[in-house]
A = this chain, B = another copy of it.
């Protein structure tokens, strides 16, 4: 397997965690998003959308982190990242999609750049924008995780799974943008449990070969 990644990309981070949890080895291929390498000819051949991650496996070039994770779950089912029951799987996917669709797309670098360049948003306004959608999304997650019986040490029960794989990178991102996480104690408790695991540690941005010294 080969993973096209950027150390600070939260979508790539998701895939790195899943690969580590499943104990799958891969070659790390850095794509420097800060210098626009994703818009260069070499990368455009792989993904005209210019988005990381891409996982090359079984002769396929897989994009979209959630599609990659569902593929890994099907082809490398153990350890499972989804619960055995349909209701549990739906709950975990809802939690993951609450990040993948309600937080992350509203806070990508290309979107924030566009806010500034096209709509004339100031730095403060774009940070406020980021914080607003994070707050909405994390509040919704906290509301569920804090009260639902299925919540355990992790988002769903006592083993890390797909929802945790989405949660930890989004929190790392939020912290970079000074989002106040104190209103979400259950979210933060789960994050701490995840971060204590070697798989999450190995996948962390600062551990990647393309992370600049001192970040």
Contact = CB atoms under 8 A, between A and B. Distances in A.
Interface of A: 48-49, 58, 60, 62-64, 66-68, 70-71, 74-75, 86-87, 89-90, 93-94, 97-98, 100-102, 104-106, 111, 114-115, 118-119, 121, 125, 128-129, 132, 140, 143
A97 B48 contact: no
B100 A71 contact: no
A97 B58 contact: no
9 contacts: A49-B98, A60-B90, A62-B90, A67-B94, A71-B87, A100-B101, A115-B119, A118-B129, A119-B129
Contacts of A94: 62-64, 67
Contact of A101 (B48, B70, B105, B121): B105
Nearest to A49: B140
Contacts of A118: 125, 128-129
Contacts of A58: 87
Contacts of A114: 129, 132
Contacts of A87: 58, 60, 71
**Central interface residue in A75, A94, A128, A140, by most chain B CB within 10 Å:** A94
Top 4 A-B pairs ranked by shortest CB distance?
A67-B93, A105-B105, A64-B97, A71-B90
Contact of A106 (B93, B105, B129): B105
